[in-house]
Amino acid sequence: MRPQDILMPVAAGLCCKVGGFHIDPVRPVERAIITHGHSDHARAGHGAVLATQETLDMMRLRYGDNFARSTQAIRYGEEIRLGDVKIKFHPAGHVLGSAQIAVSCKDTCIVTSGDYKDAIDPTCTPFEAVPCDVFITEATFGLPVFRHGDAADEVKKLLASVALFPERAHLVGAYSLGKAQRVIALLREQGYDAPIYLHGAMEAITRYYESRGVALGELRVVKGMKKADLAGTITLAPPSATSDIWTRRFPDPVTAFASGWMRVRARARQRGVELPLVISDHADWDGLTATIEATGAGEVWVTHGQEDALVHWCKSRGLAARPLDLVGYGDEEESEVVAADEAEA
Ligand SMILES: [Zn+2]
Ligand SMILES: [Zn+2]
């Protein structure tokens, strides 16, 4: 069977006709399989949703109990049959509950990675390379200039700045789902045991991580704190909040931003980021290419970002490769809009 007869990009997303489902659909469909909880991948309004328990819980947190007509939870390594295909979930190492989805039909296996990273992350199950015939990879950081380095070193930079400026507050812009909890866990790994403060918009998801057994130490919400009492503290906030009037409640804040894009100095300057922290929940160039090799796939479909360089790299290695023109997926590393009712949180 040709791979494109198993999975095909359509307006609603990646469609599996023989299995009767879409993966991460951007429009409402009868049956959706969801890779992870980020809002561009996990949308409300589908009929049946199949995903990990964590992803289902995150959707419930964001959209309320009626986000789908019915839901089914699946574990990593578990296999189920849908129509003429078999589905298996594998850890993607991107955020808590994130999964790659292997779709097998007869003797052809296609793995959709969703978003992934091969770097170690104390807040989620490690990425696992899955042998397959066709690998669908994201390419958010699909250029050789992107090498993320060790996230622990970036967190050490943050702690050095806190030690250097005890009279200032440190505000760290970080995406609410995944990045914020990872930065907190990395700070704890470095032995930082003071309370860490949260913007109100990230409290629910962070408490959810804790409920799933991710230890994050003492956390407090910023709301109600006196300005002077925030000197020498670290606060995590959605990236957009670090540049608005919300920051006035902090004493002379040092603005940091945790993102793979902080490798690009101009981006940091443009955003007024004083302390760029190169911490990404996506694979860097070396991670992308090493993963493609590890899957043993003879064919690679590239989506979600900088497709061209990766397609070229694959072809130079004798692999069949093409960009997949999927639309509707954002870049959670870049920004996050905070709802108006959360802005004062
Ligand atoms: Zn994502
Ligand atoms: Zn994505």
In percent, how much of the chain has pLDDT > 70? 97
Lookup: tokens for 122? 């104390």
Sheet of 13-16, strands arranged across: 8-10, 13-16, 21-23, 31-33, 46-51, 68-73
With a cut of 60, say whether residue 337 has pLDDT above it. no
- What tens digit of pLDDT does each residue of 275-313 get? 999 999 999 999 999 999 999 999 999 998 889 999 999
pTM: 0.95
pLDDT of residue 14: 96
Which-ligand-closest: CA of 329?
2
What's the CA gap between 96 and 244, in Å, rounded?
29
Between CA 281 and CA 258 the distance in angstroms is 10
Report pLDDT for 334: 67
Do 100 and 92 contact (CB within 8 A), yes or no?
A: yes
pLDDT of residue 50: 98
> What tens digit of pLDDT does each residue of 199-235 get?
999 999 999 999 999 999 999 999 999 999 999 999 9
Ligand showing the shortest atom-to-Cα distance for residue 117: 1
C-alpha dist (Å) from residue 269 to 186, 251, 253, 257: 25, 21, 16, 11
Q: 242 falls in which pLDDT band (50, 70, 90)?
A: confident
Centre of ligand 2 to C-alpha 281, Å, is 10
How many whole angstroms from 232 Cα to the centroid of ligand 1? 32
Q: Would you state the pLDDT for residue 338?
A: 52
What angle do helix axes 203-211 and 179-189 make, rounded to 10 degrees? 60
Ligand 2 centre to CA of 23 (Å) is 12
Closest-approaching ligand to the CA atom of 326: 2
pLDDT score, position 220:
98
* Tens-place pLDDT, residues 100-135: 999 999 999 999 999 999 999 999 999 999 999 999
**Per-residue pLDDT at 77 exceeds 90:** yes
Distance 63 CA to ligand 1 centre (A): 17
Retrieve residue 269's tokens: 């300057």
**289 Cβ contact list (under 8 Å, min separation 6):** 310, 313
Ligand nearest to the CA of 140: 2
Q: What is the mean pLDDT of residues 176-195?
A: 98
Q: What is the pLDDT of residue 333?
A: 72
Q: 8: CA distance to ligand 1 center in Å? A: 21
Å from CA of 58 to ligand 1 middle: 13
For residue 244, the model assigns a pLDDT of: 85
* Ligand 1 centre distance from Cα of residue 54 (Å): 14
The predicted-structure confidence for 195-208, as pLDDT tens digits, reads as follows 999 999 999 999 99
What are the helix (H) ranges across the chain?
Answer: 53-63, 151-164, 179-189, 203-211, 265-270, 285-295, 307-316
d(CA 32, CA 47): 7
Q: Which amino acid is at 281?
A: D
What residues contact residue 259 under an 8 Å CB cut-off, 6+ apart?
173, 174, 175, 179, 239, 277, 278, 279, 280, 333, 334
